[in-house]
């Protein structure tokens, strides 16, 4: 891959954050240094960097792509509510890889793991909303006239 100032700046920006940004976020931030850069250029460079193994591409439950500049062995958790991506460091994954290789009678060269679910922040919001629902239902069941929501 031929050297490019824009690609180098993109990689530097991506490695400066742990937020797993989208291409749009990267584009907006790169425009400060390269006002004429196009979103298409950002996407092409992200594709090349991912293909070369310089970055990781992570898809969320909403089929949005996010990127990670840290390619050391780690895993991810994607919240299905807010689409936030968290890094997850786990021990024992080599053992699971070895078990899979043995069961498949295959030579596993690489693997990745992404967990999908509801993050702690969204879960606590769900609990609060559930309590509000329970209160609302009790008020309505008691015959009070507070049943309209608006």
Residues of the binding site for Zn(2+): 79, 82, 119, 122
Q: What is the DSSP letter of 55?
A: S
What's the CA gap between 149 and 135, in Å, rounded? 13
Task: Tell which residue, 50, 46, 52, has the closest CA to residue 7.
Answer: 46
Q: What is the DSSP letter of 102?
A: H
Which runs of E-coded beta strand occur in 51-125? 56-59, 65-68, 75-79, 85-88, 114-117
Q: How long a stretch of residues is the chain?
A: 150
Q: Is 5 helix (H, G, I), strand (E, B) or coil?
A: helix
Triad 58, 64, 68: Cα angle to 5°: 30
Binding residues, as ranges, are 79, 82, 119, 122
């Amino acid at each position: 891959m031929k050297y490019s100032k824009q690609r180098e700046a993109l990689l530097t920006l991506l490695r400066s954050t742990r937020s797993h940004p989208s291409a749009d976020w990267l584009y907006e931030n790169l425009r400060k240094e390269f006002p004429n850069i196009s979103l298409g250029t950002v996407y092409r460079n992200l594709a090349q960097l991912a293909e070369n193994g310089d970055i990781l591409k992570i898809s969320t439950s909403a089929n949005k792509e996010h990127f990670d500049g840290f390619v050391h062995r780690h895993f991810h958790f994607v919240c299905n509510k807010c689409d936030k991506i968290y890094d997850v460091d786990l021990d024992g994954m080599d053992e699971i890889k070895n078990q899979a290789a043995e069961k498949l009678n295959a030579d596993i060269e690489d693997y990745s793991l992404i967990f999908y679910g509801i993050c702690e922040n969204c879960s606590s919001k769900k609990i609060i909303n559930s309590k509000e629902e329970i209160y609302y239902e009790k008020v309505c069941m008691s015959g009070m006239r507070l049943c309209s929501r608006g």
